[in-house]
Amino acid sequence: MSFNEAFKAIADPTRRKILSLLRKGDLTAGEIASHFDMQKPSVSHHLKVLKQADLVQDRREGQHIYYSLNTTVFQDLLRWFYDFVEKGERNDED
């Protein structure tokens, strides 16, 4: 997982909304697309960016592909944020 890819992925408001939708449970691309006023290829592009950043995983069930959050990557990002803030506070005290 690349932090740069993850930060780039979550910089986009559409992708953040997709992540919020997936927080409630696994969804197909069609179910995700129904929440947006855009073409399915655009939604597929956003899902691809999220997958490349390892923020989302997919699994095939029959003819459907279900997308879900990869919570491990979120934990890694939170750990990085925590370390970043903690180190900054320690440097401020010096």
pLDDT tens digits for range 33-61: 999 999 989 999 999 999 999 999 999 99
Q: What is the pLDDT of residue 43?
A: 95
Residue 94 has pLDDT above 60, yes or no: no
Asked if residue 90 is part of any domain, the answer here is: no
Q: Is residue 94 part of a domain?
A: no
Using the structure block, give the residue that is written with the tokens 């010096």. 94
From 14, 80, 85, select the one nearest 49 (Cα to Cα): 14
Domain of residue 57 covers 2-85
Q: Could you tell me what percent of the chain has a pLDDT over 90?
A: 64
> What CATH number should be reported for the domain holding residue 15?
1.10.10.10
The total domain count for the chain is 1
State which amino acid sits at residue 62.
Answer: G
Whether residue 33 lies inside any domain: the answer is: yes
Inside any domain, residue 91: no
Q: How confident is the model at residue 1 (pLDDT cuts 50, 70, 90)?
A: low
Q: What is the dihedral of CA 27, 39, 50, 66, to 10 degrees?
A: 20
* C-alpha closest to that of 47 among 63, 26, 61, 62: 26
Q: Tell me the β-bridge partners of 61.
A: 64
Domain assignment present for residue 56? The answer is yes
